[in-house]
Amino acid sequence: MAYFRERNGKHSAEVRRIGYPNQNKTFRTKAAALAWARQLESSMDIGSWIDTRETRSVLMENIIDDLIYSFERFGLDVAGPKLGQLLIMRKWFEGLSIHDLTFDNVLDFAAFRRQTVGASTLQTQMYYLKQAITNSRIKTELPVVDMAISELKLKKIIMGSKKRDRRLEPGEYEALMNEAEGHWISAAIDIALESAMRQGEIHALKWSDINESKGVIRLKRKDKDAETGQSEQKIPMVQGVREALLRAHNVFGQGPHLIPVKRSASISDKFARLTKKLGIVDLRFHDLRHEAISRMFERGMRVEQVRVVSGHRTLEQLSRYVNLRPEDLAGM
């Protein structure tokens, strides 16, 4: 049974159950205390409860390290901005045990980060924090993070990024390729536009992942496939991909990777410098994926076919990338 008490503006919750040691924790709001108690009682009901006395030695920096390791273990990109965010979070919570994580701790961290990052980036970082706790399997503190995220959303301190629909304008592709001729960024641009691969997927791609005889490329996707549950997927070499790979091989085919850079972020960094030099405004490397998928629809590919190439988990997710221009449909 759960008991609640308010003192000096703080709300404490205590869960007592026969066969279990008493559990108690203090929160800033009654809602957070109720959520924590419900989560605790639910875990006791289904037999997944973990004695919090054992979790006092589990530090926040340890579970963040474990999250970074899990990304690397499954071949997910953890370089550049993502790694930077995780390391900042690790530094902030250093020395704090997961058992002692509070609603105020999370909000204090959010206030600190909001000084230097936007609402979208902060939301991503909050979900990294939640993912770290979930990955640790010590889920008793999840309500603390969930309540903090809810409050931050309510106050519009965090929010999702605005959906982009930027596509290449006439002449931009030619300008990019002319300026980048002979440089590895030209191959990255080419492959992105023909295959709709993400930056991290292009960076991780090896020549050994390409099966020319079967016409498929083996990728480690960011998201698991909705049907197979696998992160490693085979995608078909659709129109234009073979030619893009051949051009890349003729120039950069000496090493094991298609793109000879150590960091995934080097691709977007180089692309940003290239567009700035050319005076191309508001074009990001990830916009090339949007462009590629839109072109596939313009060529008459069905939604199910495009999903196989793009790796989207659901058809609904794919719809946000479709941005057909009226002039492209004229005469159809």
Taking only the tens place, the pLDDT of each residue in 187-204 is: 899 999 988 888 888 888
Same domain, 240 and 270: yes
Do residues 308 and 236 lie in contact, with contact meaning Cβ atoms separated by under 8 Å? yes
DSSP 286: T
Ordered alpha helix ranges (H), the chain: 30-46, 52-55, 60-73, 80-92, 103-114, 119-136, 142-154, 172-179, 184-195, 199-204, 241-252, 265-278, 287-298, 303-310, 315-319, 326-329
Averaged pLDDT for residues 89-113:
90
The number of beta carbons lying within 10 Å of the beta carbon of residue 126 is: 23
Burial class (CB in 10 A: 0-12, 13-18, 19+), 293: buried
Same domain, 242 and 116: no
> Is residue 159, in this structure, part of any structural domain at all?
no
> Is residue 125, in this structure, part of any structural domain at all?
yes
Q: What DSSP letter does each residue of 84-130 carry, written as one string?
A: HHHHHHHHHTTT-BGGG--HHHHHHHHHHHHTTS-HHHHHHHHHHHH
Same domain, 226 and 181: yes
* Final residue of a structural domain among 154, 182, 199: 154
* Cα of 297 vs its chain's centroid, Å: 25
Same domain, 190 and 110: no
Q: What's the CATH number where 294 sits? A: 1.10.443.10
Instruction: Return the pLDDT at 273.
Output: 93
Do residues 101 and 141 lie in contact, with contact meaning Cβ atoms separated by under 8 Å? yes
Count structural domains, the chain. Answer: 2
The span from the CA of 286 to the CA of 320, in Å, is: 14
Do residues 27 and 102 lie in contact, with contact meaning Cβ atoms separated by under 8 Å? yes
Same domain, 256 and 294: yes
Same domain, 196 and 143: no
Residue 259 has pLDDT above 80, yes or no: yes
> Is residue 46, in this structure, part of any structural domain at all?
yes
> Is residue 252, in this structure, part of any structural domain at all?
yes
Do residues 258 and 248 lie in contact, with contact meaning Cβ atoms separated by under 8 Å? yes
Same domain, 141 and 8: yes
Give the CA-trace dihedral at 239, 243, 244, 245, to 10 degrees: 110
> Is residue 60, in this structure, part of any structural domain at all?
yes
Give the CA-trace dihedral at 268, 269, 270, 273, to 10 degrees: 120
Same domain, 187 and 109: no
Taking only the tens place, the pLDDT of each residue in 273-289 is: 999 999 999 899 999 99
Same domain, 149 and 180: no
Q: Tell me the pLDDT band of 322, cut-offs 50, 70 and 90.
A: low
Instruction: Return the pLDDT at 306.
Output: 83
Residue 110 has pLDDT above 70, yes or no: yes
Same domain, 257 and 307: yes
Same domain, 129 and 13: yes
**Angle made by CA atoms 148, 152, 153, in degrees to the nearest 5:** 115
Same domain, 311 and 283: yes
> Is residue 166, in this structure, part of any structural domain at all?
no
Token look-up 């199910």 returns: 304
Tell me phi and psi for residue 160, to 5 degrees: -70, 155
Taking only the tens place, the pLDDT of each residue in 132-182 is: 988 887 766 677 888 889 889 988 888 876 677 789 999 999 999 999 988
What is the residue type of 130?
K
Instruction: Return the pLDDT at 330.
Output: 46
**Total residue length of the chain:** 332
Q: Tell me the pLDDT band of 331, cut-offs 50, 70 and 90.
A: very low
Report how far apart, in Å, the C-alpha atoms of 248 and of each of 162, 191, 258 are: 33, 8, 7
> Is residue 281, in this structure, part of any structural domain at all?
yes
* Final residue of a structural domain among 95, 127, 154: 154
> Is residue 201, in this structure, part of any structural domain at all?
yes
Instruction: Return the pLDDT at 253.
Output: 66
Q: Is the pTM of this model over 0.75?
A: no
| Structural domain boundaries enclosing 198 | 172-329
